[in-house]
Amino acid sequence: MRERLFIHRPLVLWIKRRGKWCLAGLGIACASVSEQPAIALARLTALKPGHVLLTHTDGLSDATDFYGKRFTHQRFRETVVCLLTTEPDAPAAKIVEHLMWTIRQFAGVRLSTDDITLVVVRVRA
């Protein structure tokens, strides 16, 4: 049996323009990982040093707090921008750590109804 990971959110490319971090959507709705790993990066232009490529499953944006309020994709974007603004050279591991810490602070120790998969690639020279 093949294991597959489907990413429900599009891959998002974060780039810095005129001193501000902004999104450059890639239009890729899912990625598949199986016995023969392959992630199609269609319509992807050249990645440059400093770019940050991110994607996540819906477990991240659907995480809820004690009152049932969702974390949302908007809060995800705000969290990434906040970190990249204060630490522009943050490595991928730091971005993952910061996002997971923020989600835990939001949702608390409640049992999640969905798992979270987060993929972060930081382009280096």
**The whole model's pTM is what?**
0.73
| 67 C-beta neighbours (distance < 10 Å), count | 5
Rounded to 5 degrees, φ, ψ at 31 are -125, 145
Tell me the C-alpha distance between 125 and 111, whole Å: 40
| pLDDT on residue 9 | 56
Contacting residues for 5 by C-beta, under 8 A, at least 6 apart = 31, 32, 33, 57, 117
Domain range enclosing 16: 12-122
> Residue for token digits 């990971």?
5
Does residue 81 sit within a domain? yes
Q: Which residue has the higher pLDDT, 109 or 41?
A: 109
Tell me the C-alpha distance between 109 and 43, whole Å: 39
Nearest alpha-carbon partner for 17 in 48, 44, 42, 41:
48
Does residue 7 sit within a domain? no
* Banded model confidence at residue 23, pLDDT cuts 50, 70, 90: low
Angle at 66 between CA 64 and CA 68, to 5 degrees: 45
Overall number of domains in the chain = 1
Give per-residue pLDDT as tens, 75-106: 888 898 899 889 989 999 999 999 999 998 99
Does residue 4 sit within a domain? no
